[in-house]
Copies of this chain bind each other. A is one copy, B any other.
Amino acid sequence: MIWIVLGFITSILAIFIALSIGYIVSKTDAGTERMREIAHAIQEGARAFLKVQDLYLMIFVAVMAIVLYFTLGVYVSFSYVFGAIFSMLAGVIGMEVAVKANVRTTYFALKEGMRKAFLVAYLGGTVMGLMVVGSALAGITLFYWIFDDFQVLLGFSLGASSVALFTKAGGGIYTKTADIAADLVGKVELELPEDDPRNPAVIADNVGDNVGDVAGMASDLYDSYVASIIAAMVIGYEMFHNFGLPEIYIYFPIVIAAGGIIATLIGLSWVKIHAHEDPGSSLNRTTLVAVITYIIILYIFVQWFNANPAIFWATVAGLLAGAVMGYTTDYYTSIEKKPTQKVAEASVTGTAVNILMGFSYGIMSIVPGVIGVAIAMLVAWYISVYFGLYPIYGIAISAIGMLGIVGTIVSADAYGPIADNAKGIAEQAGLKEDVISLLDRLDAAGNTAKAITKGFAIGAAALTVIALFAAYAEIVNLQLLVDVINDVNNQVAVYPGRILNLVSPNVVSGLLIGAAMPPIISAMLILAVGRNTEVMIEDIRNQLRERPGIIKGTEKPDYARCVAIAEKGALKELILPGVTATVAPIIVGILLGIRALAAFLAGSIATGFLFALFMANSGGSWDNAKKYIEDGHFGGKGSEAHKAAVVGDTVGDPFKDTAGPTLNTMITVMSLIASTFAPIIAMLALFP
């Protein structure tokens, strides 16, 4: 009990520090009148979007809460609503600070130079990082404390994931609609530079960076983080209630997570740029310190609690898999590495070859990720078997290991769009070239962090959903397959994995349909971006036609109109994929049975993981291939190769920032829906 209280205190500490940093950042000077004005427009746009999005979300949450109330009772419904609210709160507060930190970064760059500017941008990001881990752990400990019931915990996790699905899908559609429309009309047709104030879509584009990259990525990792902890706790419950194993396994995930928050806080205290240091290496140092501290803390905790040593090793395996995923993503998308340079080179032959190369290298990039996750899973399992720990629990723990330092990861990731926005504000405010180039360096430093975060987020989601898959198998087996378990009783003692027979037409059908889900949802999202972009391009062209003064710089474009289009379209378009992902597991479970539903989840995990990695890395590679050419290679800016690379970049935009990131959340939501509704599905299912 004392440990739950300490876990809760740690989470409150993280929230307190986050709010304090937020307060300090918002009290610094926000710069000149013009800068304030631009920053204000971005803030307004971001707030307006979140406000409308949260309204839609509230309707969805209310409907789901009513469904949960009538199917699983008042407590699950209650925890679901709170899971959603906690996640939304973390997102809103984190983004409020991010949209304040951007203009202050610009101002510090103007007045104080690189080191202070970097600090402001980074501190702005840490608010989001700490809010995510703090509010997640606070919610979990609170609900565990009060209810001590795994259905209620699953409800909390499902609430967080519902928010994430909407935020990722909606934010992803928003940001890419604005980005592509701004590029196609502004850069390609009118040949305006990036972030030019004459482009009517420029504010929508800046808002998009915040709602997509800051709020979106944060809610993605928030939901993986919550789901990984709760998956382990659910398996802990089963171990306690069905195998009579000690209760410590239920709450130990909270202890591990609290250790991760402490490690994150220690890591963050190391952030500063030493003399002549690149800002990128400061970011990397923070992560490294957090990882090492985390491993030490874990070792101490496992000793202290006299817990099974397999827990320590499983966590380390998860952390290492995370590192592999992160660095692979960096390798395949970095401007300094061969794959991206090959994609740039292919642009010389033509647009089609650029597309084909980026597509293919993106796919090749899944190899190390697949092997890394497979090895982490195998190590976690067999080390658990060796030390006599319930092996499914070991896999769940390795997912928490990967996500333990998620506070650091989110902080470094949120830094990226803050620096990017700071540069945008500087350009729109017409600041001098040296300030812009300084902010450019800060922006570039965020790119590696961002690439690593993406790989990391995908790997974490994969391990988490594998843990959730195991949790689902536990839940349905224990309730329904007691006969099968008794049949293979002598196996249960050694090998407590449940039987899910793959040689059945229902199971194979479930696998096929599940495998088809991630590509289908991706296609829906890409089509949504396409439709929405066309509307916005139309509007930009109309604005430029109606008011010829805009292009001459004598008249201000109506930024709000583009913001409104992006917003309305995104919210309209996220409904179909959102509802499909929510309803599909229930339909498959009822029509084909609970075993087919398990295979459905396995199939969706496999392709979801592959597509998320491939789309993130193809998109990143196309993006950087364009930048590589802009740096003066293969003819440089304006050459035929550059035009080809711009097309590649545009194709990659919805891959890497809309469809790819939504997949993580989507497979988590589907797994949670399956687990939460398992009793209902089992009751209604047409097949066993």
Contacts and interface: CB of A to CB of B under 8 A. Distances in A.
Contacts of A499: 499, 501, 503
9 contacts: A184-B349, A184-B350, A356-B529, A473-B503, A495-B504, A500-B501, A502-B598, A511-B606, A512-B609
Interface string A631-661: 0000000000000000100110010000000
Contacts of A598: 502
In the complex, the 4 A-B pairs of residues with the closest C-beta atoms, listed nearest first: A352-B650, A363-B523, A374-B509, A515-B606
A288 interface: no
A520 B606 contact: no
A523 B361 contact: yes
Contact of A355 (B355, B470, B522): B355
A348 to B, nearest CB: 9
Interface residues of A, number: 86
Q: Which of A349, A352, A380, A508: most chain B Cβ within 10 A?
A: A352
B654 A356 contact: yes
Contact of A391 (B360, B382, B505, B519): B505
A350 B647 CA distance: 9
A219 to B, nearest CB: 25
Contacts of A433: none
A357 interface: yes
A378 interface: yes
Given A184-B349, A382-B505, A499-B503, 9 more contacts: A349-B537, A353-B530, A353-B534, A360-B530, A364-B523, A374-B513, A378-B506, A499-B501, A502-B599
A520 B366 contact: yes
Nearest to A517: B370
Contacts of A377: 505, 508-509
A610 B353 contact: no
A360 B515 contact: no
A498 interface: yes
Contact of A607 (B504, B533, B606): B606
A110 interface: no
A12 interface: no
A533 B651 CA distance: 22
Given A360-B530, A520-B364, A522-B363, A647 B607 contact: no
A286 B534 CA distance: 44
A466 interface: yes
Copies of chain A in the complex: 2
A366 B519 contact: yes
Contacts of A498: 501, 503
Contact of A501 (B392, B501, B603, B614): B501
A202 to B, nearest CB: 19
A606 B508 CA distance: 9
Contacts of A526: 356, 359-360
Q: Which of A374, A495, A603: most chain B Cβ within 10 A?
A: A374
Interface stretch (A82-90, A131-139, A418-426, A483-491): A483-491
A523 B606 contact: no
A5 interface: no
A180 interface: yes
A614 to B, nearest CB: 7
A516 B610 contact: yes
Interface in A219-253: none
A359 B650 contact: no
B352 A523 contact: no
Q: Which of A180, A353, A505, A508: most chain B Cβ within 10 A?
A: A505
A519 B363 contact: yes
Contacts of A396: none
A344 to B, nearest CB: 14
A381 interface: yes
Contacts of A602: 502, 508, 511
Contacts of A98: none
Interface in A334-378: 346, 349-353, 355-357, 359-364, 366-367, 370-371, 373-374, 377-378
A680 interface: no
Contacts of A355: 355, 647, 651
A533 B353 contact: yes
Contacts of A359: 523, 526, 651
A526 to B, nearest CB: 5
